[in-house]
Structure 1
């Protein structure tokens, strides 16, 4: 399998982003996370800082027309009109993810990429999760989160991600049947998980 786009969904504190970045380096392919915000900002003329504030957060405007495949991007962005900035960012990232998937092998973190590319035969969708104690420990260690508030921050972040995914895809975030491979990151160290995913891709 020499053509693939790996999408990685992740619970907060599971190490999903770090695993995704290491995987991209191992496979010598591009890694996209916050890079998608930079590309969207450049294409739209909207400040990256504005997009940062709404990244992976849903609004209440409910763009099910896009989720159900009824939205047409046309040839430019003016059609977005006065949509909330959250929706503008999603639309831009949706378009960018599809374009990237057509031209290169890569790893994409979050942003409903597994859903956006659901009909693309190159897609390999991964979800990284772990138990709460492991995620608390990792959040405190890697992100410097106050131990007293770690669980609250983890739950709030995951709730935002779940709402975002459900809002734009109409599906449940983290549900096993939406992914090719789900991995508990508390059972193996990151390098072994990278090896596992790389081997899975090779076997495909």
Structure 2
């Protein structure tokens, strides 16, 4: 079973992922741990921009969307490397276009976490010890970057409900209840059982 978690900034995805990893006893991959995995395999330099979530030039997005050769070379290589790094392992992955990369796995549970902008800003303000103004700028920049990043690497609109199994408001639920809701979804759908067949 692989659980992928996409998220708006400030939704507590790391805590949700940690709770799920503890519950299921499976590895939990964040940007840092995936970078280390790629470094250990000698593949980090080929995926640097992918891991850094660098803002993508809008012109490059337009060009790569129209030119399949450019798109294949620029965007699909890091996705294939990550697919190969994870293989068929049971794990949880935060971000990194996981719902798209692992879409052909029958044991995929893809999650999108959302929440009220004001609450997300407050969460980041506390987490990073920022002023309200700086926290707002951080959240808005992170969300904008993720929209462009996802579009660049997948050609899809980030946060589109049809691309995920479930969408939850983790700001209203809290991280523990969010993790429990995901666990209930997995139990009800029999996803964990199916992944071991």
Instruction: Identify whether the pair has TM-score above 0.5, normalized to the shorter chain.
Output: yes
Aligned to 2:12: 15
| Backbone CA RMSD of aligned residues | 2.8
Aligned to 1:195: 180
* TM-score scaled by length of structure 1: 0.78
Q: CA deviation at 1:109?
A: 0.6
Number of aligned residue pairs: 182
The residue matched to 2:100 in structure 1 has which SS? helix
Alignment of 1:104-119 (within 5 A): 104-119=89-104
Aligned to 2:35: 37
In structure 2, the CA distance between the partners of 1:45 and 1:94, relative to structure 1 (3 Å rule), is closer
The 8 Å contact of residues 67 and 169 in structure 1, kept in 2 or not, is answered as no
**Greater share of helix:** 2
In structure 2, the CA distance between the partners of 1:67 and 1:116, relative to structure 1 (3 Å rule), is farther
Q: CA deviation at 1:175?
A: 1.0
Structure 1's unaligned 5+ residue stretches are: 72-79
In 1: Cα distance, 2:70 partner to 2:49 partner: 22
Alignment of 1:58-77 (within 5 A): 59-60=56-57, 61=60, 65=68, 71=72
Structure 2's unaligned 5+ residue stretches are: 190-197
The 8 Å contact of residues 5 and 101 in structure 1, kept in 2 or not, is answered as no
In 1: Cα distance, 2:124 partner to 2:20 partner: 21
Alignment of 1:66-105 (within 5 A): 71=72, 91-92=77-78, 94-102=80-88, 104-105=89-90
Aligned to 2:131: 146
In structure 2, the CA distance between the partners of 1:66 and 1:197, relative to structure 1 (3 Å rule), is farther
Write the deviation string for residues 106-138 of structure 1: whole angstroms up to 9, x where unpaired.
100101010011121111100001011110111
Q: Of 179, 184, 197, which aligns to 2:169?
A: 184
In 2: Cα distance, 1:66 partner to 1:120 partner: 26
Aligned to 1:56: 53
Aligned to 1:76: none
Runs (4+) of structure 1 moved beyond 6 Å?
none
The 8 Å contact of residues 57 and 161 in structure 1, kept in 2 or not, is answered as no
The 8 Å contact of residues 10 and 128 in structure 1, kept in 2 or not, is answered as yes
